[in-house]
Amino acid sequence: MDSGVTLAGAGAEAPGRIEIMQIAEVVGTVVSTQKNRKLEGAKLLLVQPLTLEGAPRGTALLAIDSVGAGVGEKVLVVIEGKAAGDALGRKAAAVDAAVIGIVDAVDYRDSP
């Protein structure tokens, strides 16, 4: 089962919708001493999207951390440039993905 979530009003009715929020696991950090000035001081994380069962899904993503997440933690990631930049308070920054929450638990019941 997929762990992507589409927010209402964010392409939910569009054919081929894009999932803009995902559950992922932080699998590493990235150090970049030279980067766009709007990203100065930003912590970069490598995150692996997960299924609801916790299995890796797709390829890992580079995301800006806004919550102080660490390696091994499950996180909520927003995937979409404008939403990611807004979540970080860095409007017009070159951001495609941002960690916006640390997941404490997932309570999921598959429909019969």
State the Cα–Cα distance between residues 47 and 98, nearest whole angstrom: 10
- DSSP, collapsed to helix, strand or coil, labels residue 47 as strand
pTM of the model: 0.75
| 3-state SS, residue 19 | coil
At a CB cut-off of 8 Å and minimum separation 6, what does 72 contact? Answer: 25, 26
Between 88 and 102, the higher pLDDT residue = 102
| Rounded average pLDDT over 18-25 | 82
Q: Specify the pLDDT at position 90.
A: 61
- Mean model confidence pLDDT for the chain: 79
* CA 59/CA 65 separation, integer angstroms: 18
Residue 27 or residue 38, greater confidence: 27
Write the single-letter amino acid at 19: E
- Show the domains of the chain with their CATH numbers: 21-102 (2.40.50.220)
- Whether the pLDDT of residue 49 is over 80: the answer is yes
Asked if the model's pLDDT at residue 26 lies above 70, the reply is yes
User: Is pLDDT of 3 > 70?
Assistant: no
DSSP string, 48-70: EEB-TTS-B-S--EEEEESS---
pLDDT at position 65 over 60: yes
Is residue 9 predicted with pLDDT exceeding 50?
no
pLDDT at 99: 93
pLDDT score for 75: 97
CA distance 25 to 110: 22
